[in-house]
Each structure stands twice: as structure tokens, then as C-alpha cells.
Structure 1
Amino acid sequence: MDYNFIQKFHSGWAYLALLLLVVAVVNSLIGMTSKKEFTAKDRKIALFGLIATHIQLVVGLILYFVSPLGKASLGNMKDAALRLTSLEHPLINIIAIVLITVGWSRHKKLATSEAKFKSITVFYGLGLVLILARIPWKLWL
């Protein structure tokens, strides 16, 4: 695969993944605060956020291992921009996606709608904050 295609796909898919993640967090927050019943629609919204972030992770890992930037920057951790793209962005985003996955897995084991919404709100919300904190904004926008 072409490096430029993978990079553009990773950047483009990020918009969709972030949008679906925001929708999942807002939907769960509204469900939790309004004490509504957790429905199949709520489950699907959270599932789409989970799937989109996992696709983003897989594409990001492929990009990381084929990127000339990743290999060149490993010996130069004093450069903040290189450190962000080669270490901080991948590591923090893996942690974020683990949190999102924990939120999804945890909600399936919970009995009440309020607990399900809370699990998704908290874990997806933490994952979203971590992702937003480590996006290389100068490269992306």
C-alpha cells in the first residue's frame, strides 16, 4: 500500500471516528441524566463509536510501521513535534482505545440502563479527551 494513501485515510477517517465518539458520549450523557431506558439504538451508537476507533487504531498502526517519520524520529525524542507523532500520539491513543473498549465491555455486564449509560459516558469520554489531547493538530488542520 502507498504511504500517502494510508496517511490520508488515517487523517480522513479520524473525522468520522471523532464524530461517532462524540455522538456516543453525548447520547450516553443525555441517557444517563434523563434516566431513559438503554435501547438497541443506544447500543448501536456506542458500537459504531467503538468500531470506528478500532479501525482508526489498525490504520494508525499500519501507518506507524510504514512511515518514514516513525523510523527517523525514534532517535530524536528531544524534538517535540517528532516525539508527538512517534511516541505520544500512538501511545496515548492506544490507552484511549483500551478505555473505550473497557467501557463497551463493562456496559454489557451491567443490569441497569443508568449504569450502562454511565459506563459508556465515563470510559468513552475519557478516551475522547485523551485522543483530543494527542492529535497532532498542526499536521492535521
Structure 2
Amino acid sequence: MYNFIQKFHSGWAYLALLILVIAVVSSLVGMFSKREFTATDRKIALIALIAIHIQLLVGLILYFVSPLGFASLGNMADKALRLTSLEHPLINIIAIALITIGWSKHKKLITSESKFKTFSIFYGIGLLLILSRIPWSMWL
């Protein structure tokens, strides 16, 4: 079961990151081109939100069944273990919280410019945080 969850978490990450990048690029293009916020823009952001939340759920399950997760918290001297057991989960939870805040804030906004700006900022910061804590040596 552990191997399946680990492979699913790694494989789904490619899809989730791709969708999140598309959402950030779409919001930046919309903001700079000053176009109207459409239902398609909303759907792209929603799909990114859902994909990232699925990744979080699978990651949390993996965290508690993996020997590199919760079980390794006592060994903070090892950089690789610190990344997988502390930094990766903590920073990614913060990133996903920011993405969720961005989604929630956009619903109260009226103008297209402010919606695109909100998505660009919150989804963009979330994307950067996620990219900063991916265990690249294990992933590629």
C-alpha cells in the first residue's frame, strides 16, 4: 500500500503542478491584458484548487505511513530527512492555505482586475512555495 500511495503522490504532483502553473499564467495574462474574468478563468482556478487539495490529502496519508515522514521527525540533523519529514509538509500546507485563501477572496471581489490580481498573488506565492520544497533528488 505504501508504494502505491508514494507513486500516486509523486505522479499526481506532475498534474497538480501543471494545472497550478496554468492557473497562475492564466491569471497573470488576464491581469496584464485587462480582459474580463470569465467562467473559464474561474474553472481553471477551481480545478487547480481541487488538484492541489487532492495532492494534500494523499500527501498527508503518505506522511503517516512513510518511513520518511512522521517517523523521521526526531532526526533533524539529516538534511534529506528534515526536508521530507518537516519542511516539505509544513511549507506545502502553508502554500495550499494561501491558494485556498486566494480562492475564497476572489468570490467577494467584483472587478475582473482584482480577481486576476488575487489569483496571481495567492496562487503564485503558493506555487513558488511548493516548488521550493519539492524533494527534487527523490522526484526526478
| TM-score class normalised by the smaller sequence | over 0.9
Q: Which letter does structure 2 place at the counterpart of 1:120?
A: F
Contact 2:64 2:71 in 1 (8 A): no
SS at match of 1:109: coil
Report the equivalent of 2:44.
Answer: 45
Q: CA deviation at 1:75?
A: 1.3
Residue 7 (structure 1) aligns with: 6
* Residues 1:57 and 2:52 aligned together: no
Does residue 104 in structure 1 map to residue 100 in structure 2?
no
Q: What RMSD in Å do the two structures reach over aligned CA positions? A: 0.7
CA distances 1:60-94 after superposition (whole Å, capped 9, x unpaired)? 00000111222442111010000000000000000
**What is the CA–CA distance in structure 1 between the aligned matches of 2:128 and 2:70, rounded to whole Å?**
27
Q: Count how many residue pairs are aligned between Structure 1 and Structure 2.
A: 140
CA distance in 2: counterparts of 1:100 and 1:24, whole angstroms? 11
Query: 5+ unaligned residues in a row in structure 1: which ranges?
Result: none
| C-alpha distance in 1 between matches for 2:78 and 2:109 | 45
Q: Which residue in 1 is equivalent to 2:133?
A: 134
* Cα distance between partner residues in 2 of 1:46 and 1:71: 31
Aligned AA (2:132): A
Matched, 1:35 2:34: yes
Residue 14 (structure 1) shift: 0.2
- Which 5+ residue runs of structure 2 have no aligned equivalent? none
